Structure 1
Amino acid sequence: MTVTAHLLTPDTQAILLLTGSLGQVRGRDVQPLSASEYHQVAQILHRHQLRPADLLEGSGLSCLRDAEPLQFDSDRIARLLSRGAALGLIIETWTNRGLWVISRSDPQYPQRLRLRLGKSAPPILYGVGNQKLLDTGGLAIVGSREIDDAAVAFTRTLATRCARDAVQVVSGGARGVDSEAMMTALEAGGTAIGVLAESLVKAAVAGKYRSALRAGQITLITAYDPEAGFSVGNAMGRNKQIYALSDYALVVSASLEQGGTWSGAVENLAQQWVPLFVRATQPMLPGNQRLIERGGTAFTDLILASGTSIRLWLEQQIESHLEPITNKQLQSNDEPDQQTKPNNKESDLFLVIWPYLEEALQIERTDRELAAHFAIELTQVRAWLQRAIEDRMVKKLSKPVRYVAVHRTAQATMLPLFP
């Protein structure tokens, strides 16, 4: 059987084989690895300086089998990797519908997810639309499915102002606040990211998104099977992705201590991914009031009525939240739990330095060459390199030891869909 070649990196091919359902029926076929199971595999690969693509070769799979025991049947990995024919068919189907697939090992994978969610970052993202929007950030606007006229008016006004002030809207695409925010922003000429909990395949051909997709105004993504229907678990799981892709978040309406909006907001307050703002209008919703009491910042109608730039207002507010957000211990998606980032200013500075380091590492360099290039201490360069290696942003080469940016070496190539 001949399988059409598609634009997949070798790493993405391997990760998709391990974690994707590929249209197979749950309960009848070999079960894909869960996120936690894949993380076990990724830890072992990382410790042995292997990449997911190495599993497509016999030597990589043998190394994995010889490593410390996994908490599940290792033969399952071989069976999952043997699904090349199924992968070829389903990728061709998705491609014909305009879908694309990226993995945590791809340079296109959003850095916000990688840095904020660490090992919880989805191994695979399925999407349609403008990939460049994934690293744009913006304001997450979230809320209940059932909302009154006042909440609708607030949401539409806020989303319109976001579009005017070039603040991207990030939401979940569900009925109610999510859909109102996204569609209003698009109609006003803005951009949006929709993190879906159900059927990306259906959303990709929905008439309401058609013009925005053609104009590059929207990206729709999901971490779940693109053809999967709605489930409460998927809806709850995608909440953290909405927050992690944003720069700040605003809750329009939340039920008190129940529902996805409440749980997502509380998790964000605990994890401090982004500053949380909460609509504070009278009469105050009990859920909104409690979120403010737990650390959310009140956002009133007066802010919208004042004519102040939403972007400027948010940036002014974020200064008071900067310390707890940037000092969070960030974990790489593929490293052991105990390998956490230092909770100090040096960790923050890395995010500022990284663009310059990445530019310097477009060619292979030693650590001493980098120290000389930046005129700084060798120990500081080595600390930054270690951080970049742990986050899979830099690759360490040997004989002799030197370093190069992964973005340069991990370009997608046209490959057959099974070895």
Structure 2
Amino acid sequence: MRAPSLIFGTGNQTLLSNGGLAIIGPDQIPSGRSKKACEAAIEAVKKGLTVIVTGHLKMAKDLVTVAQEHSGRVIWVLHDGSLRQRLKKSNRQALSGGQMVLITAQSPAAPQKTGDRGFVGSLATALADELLYVDGSKNSKDQFRTASAALRYAQSADPTLRSNVCRLLVGRKVSPTIEQLRELAAES
């Protein structure tokens, strides 16, 4: 994957070099898994990790809110250039307090529908030390396909920037290591 020629953003850019836990997933997340993802974000904040979220989805908004409630640091990787939409009061306070950074590869002046969604996952993965892929499937038998998707996300970034740990949140089962994900992907 090619790095963008320019990254636009606002906030504390030093957060970009700290690593952290990236929590990503598809558009449709069952509410129970979204709650578990929020619990993972709280644990990351307690460990002093930065929480990295992607897109404008409800889960991303919930993760940002939870991290802010626990005085955590947040990197929000956006798929479009609409930085202003995310600037509600709590986000403005986090930005001014050095607790948040919003970044995007798309110019804020570009049309909103031209964002690159594929780049979002790769950038979040590159910034993270750990990756939590939240499965959006309501069918637990889809675990193998989900493992393959998580592995693709984990391996999408430059090898020197790749996440050290990739976990998969599928219902109640959590795969703690990328090696286990490779085994699951090989079986599918």
TM-score (norm 2): 0.75
- The answer to whether the Cα contact below 8 Å between 1:196 and 1:221 also exists between their aligned partners in 2 is yes
Q: 1:243 deviation in Å?
A: 0.2
Report if aligned partners of 1:266, 1:291 keep a CA contact under 8 Å in 2: no
Contact 1:145 1:174 (C-alpha < 8 Å) held by counterparts:
no
Partner of 1:266: 152
Change (3 A) 1:291 1:250: farther
Distance, in Å, in 2 between the alignment partners of 1:251 and 1:207 is: 29
**1:146 aligns to 2:36 (yes or no):** no
Residues 125-157 of structure 1 deviation map (CA, whole Å, 9 limit, x = unaligned) = 111011110101001011233222311220121
Give distance in 2, aligned partners of 1:205 and 1:252: 25
Q: Which residue identity does 1:266 align to in structure 2?
A: R
> Which one-letter code corresponds to 2:61 in the other structure?
S
Q: Which residue of 2 aligns with 1:222?
A: 104
Structure (1/2) with the larger helix percentage: 1
- Higher strand proportion: 2
Which amino acid is the alignment partner of residue 293 of structure 1?
A: L
Task: Tell me if structure 1 keeps the 8 A contact 2:131–2:166.
Answer: yes
Aligned residues between the structures: 169
Distance 1:200 1:270 in 2: 25
Task: Find the residue that maps to 2:29 and give its secondary structure.
Answer: coil
Tell me, yes or no, if structure 1 residue 198 matches structure 2 residue 86.
no
Maintained 8 Å contact 2:22/2:130? yes
What RMSD over aligned residues (CA atoms) do the two structures have, in Å? 3.0
What residue in structure 1 maps to residue 18 of structure 2? 136
Instruction: Report the Cα distance in structure 1 between the residues aligned to 2:169 and 2:117, rounded to whole angstroms.
Output: 22
Query: 2:184 corresponds to which letter in structure 1?
Result: E
Contact 1:126/1:224 (<8 A) preserved: yes
**Correspondence 1:278 to 2:143:** no
Contact 1:196 1:220 in 2 (8 A): yes
Structure 1 residues 226, 254: CA separation in 2 closer, same or farther (over 3 Å shift)? Answer: same
**Is there any run of 5+ residues in structure 2 with no aligned partner, and where?**
175-179
2:185 counterpart (275, 287, 294): 294
1:261-283 CA deviation, whole Å, 9 max, x = no partner? 97574142366521311014348
1:182–1:192 Cα contact (<8 Å) kept = yes
Distance 1:253 1:291 in 2: 16
Select the residue among 39, 42, 48 that pairs with 1:160.
Answer: 42
* 1:170 positional shift: 0.8
Structure of greater relative contact order (alpha carbons < 8 Å, 6+ residues apart): 2
1:374-385 map, 5 Å: none
Aligned sequence identity (%): 25
Residue number in structure 2 paired with 1:245: 127
Tell me which amino acid in the other structure corresponds to 1:249. Answer: L
Q: How does 1:105-144 map to 2 (within 5 A)?
A: 120-144=2-26
* 1:28-67 paired onto structure 2 within 5 Å: none
Structure (1 or 2) with the larger CA radius of gyration: 1
CA contact (8 A) 2:21 2:129 kept: yes
Which residues of structure 1 form unaligned runs of 5+?
Answer: 1-116, 296-419
